[in-house]
A and B are shown apart, each in its own frame.
Chain A
């Protein structure tokens, strides 16, 4: 999943670097003091998870967990991913410094997009009548599965697109990256589903769910307004 130095062309590298700088700036602005410990720990988790790899066919793949990061951290996933990738490049020679922006963009953008959509969706259901116990309970696993696997899938497509811009055919590159990341998509889907299910039970606020908001139907029905 980490593209190394010397593969991509200069325009791709520069575009990636600029876009990632913007992402990091937005992420830092949104990183409040109470979010910081979670961000630090998820950065560490992402850093370590990428070190555990599974050989698949001629290549090898590793856990990414960007879906979970996007879901919990939102825009703050950007600085978190950049920090982890920077340290991986410096300590272990994963990826590289010049390609850092492109790698961060490929990982963070799908995470933020899918994380944001999933948060919105879960919030909607949560605040419907009986949402917490009924539909959401049944759908949590499915949502988590989609968040985990789609994030990895989109990241694979991003990597394929970056490689395609460097000369490799997009379809061929996309086939290869998607195929080799299929096991990771399944694994991450299940892991993200379990994590999200657990978080919804014990601390829904971390997924952006504000329990008992005054403007929700549920609040009003409980207070006897509706």
Chain B
């Protein structure tokens, strides 16, 4: 069958591009530094989003602030209170991405506001992003121990230094999560063949019963 040959040639050609191409999905990455959340939006594997709106939402999912990304796809928010935050990046055409920032990653002492127990009780902690769990746990431990031993300024300094140092790691983890793997593509094609096999089996059984 000639159509099969053509399609195979196309598939093989496509594979050569598949390793550096891919991804149409928009992503957003952000990290807190003191009272500022900075981040950037990007198309996975395709560079930064040069035109997008970013919304900052609080724990109650209400929009607190809105901004637009600059030419490098970067944005910044000053955060008002100590709480969980969620970012929504809208690049238009239905390209939307979310990013959660746990309040454990923020420095409570900078806000000088004790969190409302009723509010924190009502809000369930969003699951941490991959790579953040270990980091946030360490930071919390260090924050607690340093809070006991030293003053608030030193604790804030440590937090900022750690945040700055683990930022490339977080970015790397985020990027490797987004990397489309050759195995995934092959696996998916295997699934397609398998599903078609199932349909063939189902049809054969139906015809037999008739």
Q: Does A92 lie within 8 Å of B25, measured CB to CB?
A: yes
A203 within 8 A of B: yes
A226 within 8 A of B: no
> A57: shortest Cβ distance to chain B, in Å?
8
Residue of A6, A28, A177, A198 near B199 (CB, 8 A) is A28
Residue of B6, B21, B52, B191 near A195 (CB, 8 A) is B6
Q: Which A residues lie within 8 Å of B22 (CB)?
A: 51-53, 92
Q: Does B91 lie within 8 Å of A58, measured CB to CB?
A: yes
Which of B25, B50, B94, B204 gathers most chain A CB within 10 Å? B94
Q: Does A173 lie within 8 Å of B93, measured CB to CB?
A: yes
Q: Does B3 lie within 8 Å of A159, measured CB to CB?
A: no
Task: Report the Cα distance A49→B195, complex, angstroms.
Answer: 19
Q: Does B188 lie within 8 Å of A47, measured CB to CB?
A: yes
* Interface residue SS majority, chain A: helix
> B71: shortest Cβ distance to chain A, in Å?
10
**Nearest chain B residue, comparing its CB with the CB of A207:** B3
B2 within 8 A of A: yes
A7 within 8 A of B: yes
With A4-B95, A7-B96, A43-B192 already in contact, the answer to whether A58 and B49 are too (CB < 8 A) is yes
Stretch touching chain B among A15-23, A29-37, A113-121, A127-135: A29-37
Interface residues on A, range: 35 or more
B189 within 8 A of A: yes
Which residues of A1-15 have CB atoms within 8 Å of chain B's CB atoms?
1-4, 6-8
**Nearest chain B residue, comparing its CB with the CB of A203:** B2
Encode contact with B along A179-220: 1 for CB under 8 Å, 0 otherwise. 010000000000000010011001100100000000000000
A143 within 8 A of B: no
- Nearest 4 pairs of A and B residues by beta carbon: A3-B94, A58-B51, A40-B196, A48-B14
Extra pairs beyond A52-B18, A92-B22 (18, CB < 8 Å): A2-B25, A38-B4, A39-B196, A40-B193, A44-B192, A47-B188, A48-B11, A48-B189, A51-B21, A53-B46, A55-B43, A59-B91, A87-B188, A91-B188, A92-B25, A162-B94, A198-B2, A202-B2
Binding site for A on B (CB under 8 A): 1-4, 6-8, 10-11, 14-15, 17-18, 21-25, 43, 45-47, 49-52, 91-98, 180, 184-185, 187-189, 191-193, 195-196, 199-200, 203-204
